């Protein structure tokens, strides 16, 4: 009975998403920022300078590109470290078993 309740809780938690963002959240990619266009304001109305907006969007896109590149490097390094740890543990496991038997 307890196992069924735990499975149901996990399933419900996955359906609801995390506490901080929904499952439908998608990260913003640099190409999305660069492609974003704002509607121009009419004559005599207040608005923003389109060149300034474009410059800002390029800056944001560059920052996002650097962040995603760095993140990919960190993930690759993490995978290498995990694999090295698995190899080390595999080599150490027989030794620890032999020592425990003595």
Global confidence as pTM = 0.53
Asked if 30 and 64 touch (Cβ cutoff 8 Å), the reply is: yes
Question: From first to last of its 102 residues, what are the pLDDT tens digits of the chain?
Answer: 555 545 555 555 554 445 555 677 677 788 888 888 877 777 776 777 788 888 888 888 888 899 999 999 999 999 999 999 999 998 887 776 677 765
DSSP state of 21: S
Q: What pLDDT is recorded for position 50?
A: 80
Residue with tokens 């359906």: 15
Q: What pLDDT is recorded for position 85?
A: 96
Q: What pLDDT is recorded for position 76?
A: 97
Asked if 67 and 27 touch (Cβ cutoff 8 Å), the reply is: no
**Interatomic CA distance for residues 8 and 82, integer angstroms:** 31
Q: Which of 32, 31, 37 is nearest to 53 (CA)?
A: 37
**Interatomic CA distance for residues 50 and 27, integer angstroms:** 25
**Interatomic CA distance for residues 90 and 94, integer angstroms:** 8
């Amino acid at each position: 009975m307890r196992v069924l309740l735990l499975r149901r809780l996990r399933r419900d938690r996955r359906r609801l998403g995390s506490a901080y963002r929904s499952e439908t959240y998608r990260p913003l990619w640099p190409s999305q920022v660069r492609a974003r266009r704002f509607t121009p304001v009419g004559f005599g109305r207040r608005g923003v300078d389109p060149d300034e907006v474009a410059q800002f969007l390029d800056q944001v896109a560059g920052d996002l590109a650097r962040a995603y590149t760095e993140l990919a490097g960190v993930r690759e390094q993490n995978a290498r470290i995990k694999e090295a740890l698995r190899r080390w543990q595999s080599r150490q496991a027989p030794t620890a078993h032999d020592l425990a038997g003595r």
